[in-house]
Structure 1
Amino acid sequence: MVRHGGFARAAALSGIAALILTAAGCAATAPEPAPSPTVPVYVSTYETPAPTELAPLRGTTVPAGSLAHSAIAAKVDNHWDARPQVGLESTDIVYEELVEGGITRYVAIWQSTIPELLGPVRSIRPMDPDIAAPYGGIIAYSGGQQRFVNLMQATPVYNAIHGMGDTANTFFRTDSKRAPHNVLVKATEVVAQHADIPAPAQQWAYSLDAASSSAAKEGAPVSAIHYRFSNMFDGSWTYDPDSQTYLRIQQGSADLDSSGNQLRASNVVVLRVGVVDDQGVPKTLLEGSGEAWISTGGGTIHGTWSKASQTEPLQFTDDRGFGIRLGAGNTWVELVPTRGSVEFTAAG
């Protein structure tokens, strides 16, 4: 019985082992499950664009903070012995005004691009404080009648005057022109010396480009602008469709910069202004209002200019009373006396 029972137990154990081996053999030959598909992980390549802002005197888009410096204005000579002037091609805004002898001078303003040199600079005139004051910053000139210098120094603009101690190293006479038409200014150095002066406020409303400006969208098609300041001086601007800019002409000849290229503007603003005699000096009257034409992108829109006070900017409204938008880019302002003339050639 004992042997029989032992044999029975051995047989039972042997059978269990066989079942285990069989099961193991089956497990070894069973196919492995197919792997789950790999799901790709999405990685965004979007980069947040750097912040931008509008250049205050051009309306062009620039990196934020890239123009955190003052404007520099200058009383620039327009006598034929002063031409070609230095730096006019990079101006943001230029005002042309009547002075003695029936000729003109400029108040030119730079902020988007400060040239290494600008000029030649000449003496201040009685209307220049009204032009320069809204921009703050710096104004460079070669002196003038003390009563006019006093007016300029009473504005919120830093006066950089030739012959003074603070300009001894930044104003100089070039050998390439004859005196008094040869005083140049180291503009980048002057601006760097006054890093505490803030950037100017935006003066005018701008569209993104010439085609979306008020004049291009709502004005009359005009191919040329002709103006006369006096019997001694006249000029014109002709529209170049390829560049969408206006090319400058003085007294029948192309007006060239110091590199031999014709001066051009994205916007040409013509204002009819009163001019009075200030003890023998013509004085343009800029506080008040008057007739205006703004030309951009081949179109010219008629309207009104107004200026509430010396430190307030010029405002431009159309004949319906709506504000006029200029095209992004540089602007020339022609302060044509009411005794002068303005004519426009319709685009054919």
Structure 2
Amino acid sequence: MTTVGGRRRVRGGRPTGVAVLLAAALTASLAAGCTAGKDDDRGRRASPDASAGRASVLAVKIDNVRGARPQTGLDAADVVYVEQVEGGLSRLMAVYATRLPETVGPVRSARESDLELLAQFDRPTLAFSGAQSKLLPLIDKASVRARPPGTASDAYVRNPDRPAPHNLYLRPGRLLPSAPGEDALTTGFRFGAAPEGGRETTSGTVRYPAARYTFTWSPDKERWLISMDGEPAVTTDGGRMAAW
């Protein structure tokens, strides 16, 4: 699933089919490279230059099992990636550049595929609950600013109204002083006129072994409404998730 704020994927108010096809290509490409294991909430040292360098995006790993829904802060993300994890389930990685929500979550653990995806950004900040012990050295070597709870405890809070492990939330303003801006969003996505020979579509579904995402074009909202596992995907404020 990909949402790029402010980047229209329609022409003349009609769907071009690009959004759904792109979502399918991205999600299918993420099926490999996942590292299974329990969250490791032990404190870790921050990257040596965690506060150095020019502004870059904030990436947050977000829980996506039924017990973690509805999520908070996804509507503010510029890009949301879906990644397959163990058991055929999925987790989300939300990327923030143009604005930072007050709260994001529930936050869960990192996977090796996160590092592959984040390589397209200029040393992004990665917020996650922990990682499998074999993955920690790879995170330390990667070009990311790793900020799990052990390195930024004041940025994370527990929601007493939710059961663990679906109750850890991030306050992005405690990690970044402000949103880095659109220039930090170096995804490489470019959109223009639809190529010749295409076929307009109003709906598309991406399937995993234990998860399903459906994108349905809304002429009124001029965006793709998202459903997860056959149900409308919403945030904690009741807003429907949508892809531009």
* In structure 2, C-alpha distance between the alignment counterparts of 1:265 and 1:141, rounded to whole Å: 24
Report if the CA contact (8 A) 1:236-1:250 is conserved: yes
Shift of the 246–149 alpha-carbon distance from structure 1 to 2, 3 Å rule, reads same
Partner residue of 1:87? 73
Task: Give the root-mean-square deviation of aligned CA atoms.
Answer: 2.4
Which has the larger strand fraction?
1
Instruction: State the Cα distance separating 1:218 from its structure 2 match.
Output: 6.2
Task: Please list the CA deviations of residues 184-204 of structure 1 after superposition, one character each: whole Å capped at 9, or x if unmatched.
Answer: 011022112999xx9625322
* In structure 2, C-alpha distance between the alignment counterparts of 1:109 and 1:205, rounded to whole Å: 14
Partner residue of 2:133? 146
* In structure 2, C-alpha distance between the alignment counterparts of 1:98 and 1:58, rounded to whole Å: 23
Where do 5+ consecutive residues of structure 2 fail to align? Answer: 8-53
Partner residue of 1:187? 172
* In structure 2, C-alpha distance between the alignment counterparts of 1:216 and 1:173, rounded to whole Å: 48
Shift of the 110–193 alpha-carbon distance from structure 1 to 2, 3 Å rule, reads closer
Aligned counterpart for 2:206 among listed residues 227, 232, 237:
227
* In structure 2, C-alpha distance between the alignment counterparts of 1:194 and 1:238, rounded to whole Å: 30
Report if the CA contact (8 A) 1:117-1:184 is conserved: yes
Aligned counterpart for 2:223 among listed residues 245, 248, 258:
245
Aligned counterpart for 1:137 among listed residues 99, 124, 130:
124
Where do 5+ consecutive residues of structure 1 fail to align? Answer: 1-56, 61-67, 208-212, 267-348
| Structure showing greater relative contact order (alpha-carbon pairs closer than 8 Å, 6 or more residues apart) | 2
Report if the CA contact (8 A) 2:5-2:77 is conserved: no
Larger Rg: 1
Task: Please list the CA deviations of residues 267-295 of structure 1 after superposition, one character each: whole Å capped at 9, or x if unmatched.
Answer: xxxxxxxxxxxxxxxxxxxxxxxxxxxxx
TM-score, normalization by structure 1: 0.51
Shift of the 199–221 alpha-carbon distance from structure 1 to 2, 3 Å rule, reads closer
TM-score, normalization by structure 2: 0.72
Task: Please list the CA deviations of residues 229-261 of structure 1 after superposition, one character each: whole Å capped at 9, or x if unmatched.
Answer: 11x221211001222210001111101111111
Task: Please list the CA deviations of residues 8-27 of structure 1 after superposition, one character each: whole Å capped at 9, or x if unmatched.
Answer: xxxxxxxxxxxxxxxxxxxx
Shift of the 218–85 alpha-carbon distance from structure 1 to 2, 3 Å rule, reads farther
